[in-house]
Amino acid sequence: MKFKVAVMGLRMGGEWAKAALNLPNAELTMVYDPAYGISERIITSTYENNNVKRAMTEEEVYNSDVDVIVVASPDHFHTEQCIKALMAGKHVACEKPLAPTLDDCRKIIEAVKKSGKQFMTGQVCRYAPGFCAAKALYEAGRIGDLVYVESEYAHDYSRAPGYGNWRKDPAVKRQGFLGGGCHALDLTRWIAGDPTEVSCFMNQKYLPDWPTPDTGIAIAKFPNNVIGKIFVSIGVKRPYTMRTCLYGTKGTIICDNTSPEIKICETLVTGPASKLEFSTIPVSVASHNVTSELKEFLAYIEKGEMCPTDVYQGTKTVAFAEAAIRSAETGVCVKPDYNF
């Protein structure tokens, strides 16, 4: 079966469009972005050379005969666009974070239920080879029981305010801890399970003219008495990193999504009397492995089953972020709200 795909939002959605052009069971038939022909980041020749129709309005996408709509627009458009796409009878893949608030996520959940269509939240870190390898090693028992997990999302947004400066727009009031930090938050959830309580501190010293804190650190308690730390900064002055560490009773894994290897130290190999050292395992570098995301989503649509990164997984990550933000605002420990 070949699926007709439309992509809305061609800056984040550019990789989704390429994936649809390259996958044998996908056909990119339509794209939409109000900045088409204006933004230099939108390579219009890609679509024109492949006879992909440019929609002039959102409604044109909803009213088309496509099977799948990818919503890759700025975060604050996700809720309305996802709901309209679902109500138009389309399967939907939505870029992360799923929505700006938990209440918005609940609205999308209701639309998924009413439509009966398949839905994917684009949590791309779950498809990065380094993170996938680390999780597989942990689940195979190579580092024993998980004790502590930490992940960080450090990315300087001072030169990436988004088209039209939407990321720093006070009317949008994007929360950086969710908007960028959803990567690290979701990754720790994927590895350790849903956190039960969160304490968080935030400050704003890098981007003082932005509407929300630029840096934060959350401490969380996960199931099975696992503890963890999530560091997020959208103003940090260093190269991008998503360094993630898994500490187990029998070893440690250090990984990220930009290195051609991950590191593992395991007592099974070194023995208790030997000097502890890290070994390296080569992995592919694919920090934004959108092709694997879309490939998996189409496979689940064909099977008629919910994909692993469904609307509920996207919502739980937003709930995690919202609890951290509320903790930073109130100064108390907060339990994430999973009532949806």
**What is d(CA 34, CA 222) in angstroms, rounded to the nearest whole number?**
42
Nearest to 230, CA basis, from 280, 191, 173: 191
Q: How many CB atoms lie within 10 A of CB 312?
A: 17
Ordered domains of the chain (ranges, CATH) = 3-123 (3.40.50.720), 126-288+319-330 (3.30.360.10)
Q: What φ, ψ does residue 214 adopt, rounded to 5°? A: -100, -15
DSSP output for 158-172? GG---GGGGGG-TTT
Q: CA of 333: how far to CAs of 128, 131, 185, 221, 324, in Å?
A: 31, 29, 17, 11, 8
Say what percent of the chain tops pLDDT 70.
Answer: 98
Residue 23 has pLDDT above 90, yes or no: yes
Q: How many CB atoms lie within 10 A of CB 224?
A: 9
pLDDT tens-digit series, residues 119-143: 999 999 999 999 999 999 999 999 9
- Residue 260 has a pLDDT of 96
Instruction: Determine the distance from the C-alpha atom of residue 94 to the mean position of all C-alpha atoms in its chain, rounded to a whole number.
Output: 10
Do the beta carbons of residue 248 and residue 143 sit within 8 Å?
yes
pTM: 0.96
Residue 22 has pLDDT above 70, yes or no: yes
